[in-house]
């Protein structure tokens, strides 16, 4: 039997620290950001006998992990054991101890790899290294999340409705807001799960039950067909535009007529509104550019007019490249880089305005909880970089060479019309308004952001 221990000190009292773990979203927030996992089943609260089941990739296969809570003693201890999974045995004990105004969280894991002595010889070291990376990630997320929540501890918890909750951003946003004690509900287009905080809607059929969305404090809309998911055909471009128009108009017009209107309506947007601007420094006051993305985004933001005119605080977040190892642009880059085929794209002079996934989530929390925040906000790091610098930094973090520049021609063949705005053009965007509102970025450095989301400290 192997034993692994990890200690984390957080600047929060023991009750609030333990309470963070009690929320359903804590599991998602503690999952390493480079691990792709799917939750199959989970009890909403921790208690003795509670079960959580999830799937994750294990080499070329998919592995199921079934965990059961066997001890629950708030605010000092809880324990879970693995009933089914990759280990022969896994027991994880979480212990909490007060230290002044802070809390010491000690994770103690007893585990046994399969195949006994042979398993330890061939896999013991790599398994321990992987466990250590996981707990470093857990420590950083726990400390940061509790710090972000502490900024608004004096404010009442919100009832929040999220459209687009199953996407890369929405999944983590809902988990983070849940651990902050907010009451999270999801707008879904499929059959709702029994006993869940879900509300059905169908934007294509212009259907939503307005009675079901009465009384929400915050409504967040992150939906829309992915801009970079597929080649742009006439049909795809129409889907990109219509998915934003139908859903945003339906929400905006419906909530504008509610008896109990939400305090704030936050809607996704994109820095594509600025078009290809070369070295021009862009803020929220900059004029729009031109092209399909500009047209799409300008219209997208205009669809919130009904909510604005009814007196609701409306926020449009113009998002840059969100860094995540499990989705978006970075995920696509990882495979060629890992095999040593990474490099700058199309000369590498184009600007990349990026933001870490955690900063994106923290920024949304800041905007909805701060009553003075209104209007358009750029959600990008204060330090945009050229694509060539991005490539060199990613190579450094992955310990891979960056000597394989990718010319424009094959990318145009591969991606078609999409290649130009997505790969060869760029914007040098600065988040002026959110900085002026008092928000502080966790990841101002690209290297730190990449190391954090890839677990390469």
Domains of the chain, by residue range, sit at: 2-150, 159-454
10 Å CB burial of residue 335 (0-12, 13-18, 19+) is exposed
SS3 readout for 169-219: HHHHHHHHHHHCCCEEEEEECCCCCCCCCEEEEEHHHCEECHHHHCCCCEE
127-161 pLDDT, tens digit each: 999 999 999 999 999 999 999 999 999 999 999 99
Least confident of 163-177, 229-243, 330-344, 356-370: 330-344
183-215 pLDDT, tens digit each: 999 999 999 988 899 999 999 999 999 999 999
Residue indicated by tokens 């642009």: 329
Phi-psi region of 275 (alpha: psi -120 to 50; beta: other; left: phi over 0): left
* Token pair recorded at residue 362: 């923290």
Which band of pLDDT confidence, cut at 50, 70 and 90, is reported for residue 122? low
246-270 pLDDT, tens digit each: 999 999 999 999 999 999 999 999 9
Mean pLDDT calculated for residue range 47-61: 86
Mean pLDDT calculated for residue range 364-380: 98
Residue 107 confidence (pLDDT)? 98
Other Cβ atoms within 10 Å of 108 Cβ, number: 15
Collapsed DSSP state (helix, strand, coil) of residue 14: helix
Which band of pLDDT confidence, cut at 50, 70 and 90, is reported for residue 419? confident
Averaged pLDDT score across all residues of the chain: 93
Which of 218, 172, 267, 144 has the alpha carbon at shortest distance from 370?
Answer: 218
Contacts of 154 (CB under 8 A, 6+ apart): none
Q: Where are the alpha helices (DSSP H) in 257-356?
A: 292-302, 305-309, 328-338
* β-bridge mates for residue 264, sequence order: 218, 313
Which of 183, 295, 206 has the alpha carbon at shortest distance from 252?
Answer: 206
Mention the CATH class of domain 159-454.
Answer: alpha beta
Half-sphere exposure of 362 (CA within 13 A, CB side): 25
| b/e burial code for range 28-52 (CB count within 10 A of at least 16 → b) | bbbbbbbeebeeeeeeeebeeebeb
What is the CA angle 349-354-358, rounded to 5?
Answer: 160
In this prediction, what percent of the chain has a pLDDT beyond 70?
99
Residue 42 confidence (pLDDT)? 83
Dihedral sign computed on CA atoms, order 181, 145, 87, 166: positive
Fold match between domain 2-150 and domain 159-454: no
Characterize the bridge pairing of strands 61-73 and 321-323: unpaired
Mean pLDDT calculated for residue range 332-350: 82
- Given a cut of 90, whether residue 382 has pLDDT beyond it is yes
Least confident of 81-85, 381-385, 398-402: 398-402
Domain 2-150 has CATH 3.40.50.720: no
Half-sphere exposure of 49 (CA within 13 A, CB side): 0
Say if residues 277 and 427 touch (Cβ distance below 8 Å). Answer: yes
What are the E-state strand segments in 74-204?
77-84, 89-99, 102-112, 159-163, 183-188, 198-202
* β-bridge mates for residue 109, sequence order: 4, 92
Mind giving me the DSSP string for 22-69? HSTHHHHHHS-TT---EEEEE-SS--TT-EEEEEEEETTEEEEEEEEE
Which band of pLDDT confidence, cut at 50, 70 and 90, is reported for residue 340? confident
Q: Report how far residue 161's alpha carbon sits from residue 288's, in angstroms, rounded to the nearest whole number.
A: 30
Collapsed DSSP state (helix, strand, coil) of residue 160: strand
- Given a cut of 80, whether residue 443 has pLDDT beyond it is yes
């Amino acid at each position: 039997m192997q034993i692994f221990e990890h200690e984390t000190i957080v600047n929060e009292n023991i009750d609030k620290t333990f309470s963070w773990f009690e929320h359903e979203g804590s599991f998602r927030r503690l999952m390493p950001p480079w691990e792709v996992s799917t939750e199959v089943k989970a009890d909403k609260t921790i208690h003795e006998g509670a079960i959580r089941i999830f799937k994750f990739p294990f080499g070329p296969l998919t592995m199921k992990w079934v965990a059961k809570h066997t001890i629950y003693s708030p605010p000092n201890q809880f324990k879970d054991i693995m009933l089914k999974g990759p280990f022969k045995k896994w027991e994880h004990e979480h212990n909490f101890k007060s230290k002044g105004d802070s809390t010491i969280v000690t994770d103690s894991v007893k585990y046994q790899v399969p195949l006994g002595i042979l398993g330890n010889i061939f896999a013991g070291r790599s398994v321990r290294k992987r466990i250590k990376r996981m707990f470093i990630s857990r420590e950083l997320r726990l400390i940061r999340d509790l710090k972000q929540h502490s900024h608004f501890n004096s404010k009442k918890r919100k009832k929040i409705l999220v459209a687009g909750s199953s996407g890369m951003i929405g999944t983590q946003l809902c988990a983070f807001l849940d651990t902050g004690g907010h009451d999270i509900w999801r707008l879904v287009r499929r059959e709702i799960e029994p006993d869940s905080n879900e509300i059905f809607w169908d934007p294509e059929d212009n259907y939503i039950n307005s009675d079901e969305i009465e009384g929400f404090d915050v409504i967040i809309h992150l939906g829309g067909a992915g801009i970079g998911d597929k080649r742009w055909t006439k049909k795809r471009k129409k889907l990109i535009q219509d998915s934003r128009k139908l859903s945003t108009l339906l929400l905006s017009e419906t909530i504008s007529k509610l008896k109990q209107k939400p305090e704030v309506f936050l809607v996704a947007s994109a820095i594509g509104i600025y078009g290809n601007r070369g070295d021009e420094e862009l803020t929220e006051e900059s004029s729009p550019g031109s092209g399909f993305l500009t047209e799409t985004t300008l219209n997208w933001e205009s669809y919130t007019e009904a909510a604005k005119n009814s007196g609701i605080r409306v926020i449009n977040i113009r998002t840059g490249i969100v860094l995540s190892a499990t989705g978006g642009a970075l995920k696509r880059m990882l495979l060629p880089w890992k095999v040593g085929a990474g490099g700058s794209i199309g000369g590498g002079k184009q600007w990349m305005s990026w933001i870490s996934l955690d900063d994106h989530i923290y920024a949304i929390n800041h905007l909805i909880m701060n009553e003075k925040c209104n209007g358009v906000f750029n959600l990008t790091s204060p330090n945009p970089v050229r694509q060539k610098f991005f490539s060199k930094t990613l190579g450094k973090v992955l310990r891979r060479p960056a000597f394989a520049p990718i010319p424009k021609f094959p990318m145009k063949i591969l991606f078609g019309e999409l290649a130009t705005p997505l790969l060869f053009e760029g914007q040098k965007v600065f988040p002026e308004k959110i900085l002026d509102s008092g928000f502080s970025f966790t990841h101002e450095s690209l290297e730190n952001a990449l190391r954090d989301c890839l677990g390469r400290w």
